Amino acid sequence: MKTIIRMAASTCCACLVALTGFGVWRSGMLTALPEQTEAGALNLGVKETSVESKGESPGNMAANNKIIVHQIDWSPSDEIKFDVHEDDFVVMSKAEINKYYGINIFPTVPDDLKEWEDEEFGVYKRNGGTGEIYFDFNILNYSNETFSKGINIEIQKGSLPTSDCVFLDEYIEKSIINNVEVAIGQDTNNEYYFAEFLLHNVGFRFIVEGLTQDEFVAVISSLIQ
C-alpha cells in the first residue's frame, strides 16, 4: 500500500486497504444521506448509541473514561486521488517519524498482534525530497497470524487523515478517553470498530476487526497518555 501511495495519482489507502485475510474495506461511507436536524447538525445515519459512563467531564483532569459507541451504516465509495511522486518520499525511522509528529504514534496492542514487517514511514517533500513537506499521511497495520484480528491506523498532521468518505459525524457525542474526545463507531454487523480523534494536532483514524471493545479502548488509551 505504501508503494501505491508513493505512485502519482495513488489512492492512498482511502479506498481499499488490502489487509490480506484481514479484509478491512477502508472506504466506508454512511449510507444515509446527510439531513439537517433541528440543531443544525448533520444526521449521517447513526442508528443507536450505547453509553458506558465511568467518570465526569473532560475538564476534570481526574475524570475517568466515558465510552460511547455509535452504531453506523457504511458502504464503499468513490476513489480519492493524490498527486504524490515516488521520488519525493523521504523514509524515516520510527524515532524520526515520532519526532516529526511530536508524539508517539505507535500504540500498545494485544500480545497476539504483530506489526507488519514491511511497513515504511516517512513524508513527501517537493523537488525529489529536498523541499517543503506537502504530504505526511502514514499507515500502521497490526494483525494476528490468521488475520482474524487486525488494526489499521491512519495518521496525518494538522487534521484527521485525508479521506473521500465520512466515517463518523463530527457532531455525534464523543467518548472521553484520558480526557481526550474520541469519536467511536461500530458497523451494524458488529464486525468492525472505528475511531477518529485529534491528539496534539495529529489526526488518527482507527479501523479494527476481531478486538473486544475493552481491547480497542486500551489500544487508543496507550496513545493518549
- Structure pTM? 0.73
Residues 6+ apart with CB under 8 A from 189: none
Q: The cell 500500500 sits on which residue?
A: 1
Question: Which candidate, 197, 164, 157, 175, places its Cα nearest to that of 55?
Answer: 175
pLDDT surpasses 60 at 215: yes
pLDDT in tens, 34-87: 333 333 333 333 333 444 434 334 444 445 689 999 998 765 555 556 788 999
| Strand blocks (E) in 80-173 | 89-92, 114-115, 121-125, 133-135, 138-143, 150-157
Read out DSSP for 59-125? TSTT---EEEEEEE--B------B---GGGEEEE-HHHHHHHHTS-------TT-EE-TT--EEEEE
Rounded distance, CA 77 to CA 65, Å? Answer: 33
pLDDT in tens, 90-130: 999 999 999 999 999 999 999 999 999 989 999 999 999 99
Q: What pLDDT shows up at residue 92? A: 97
Strand partners, 121: 92
pLDDT surpasses 70 at 158: yes
Residue 222 in contact with residue 153, Cβ under 8 Å? no
pLDDT in tens, 167-189: 788 889 999 999 999 999 999 88
For residue 164, the number of C-alpha atoms closer than 13 Å in the C-beta half-sphere is 17
Residue 204 in contact with residue 108, Cβ under 8 Å? no
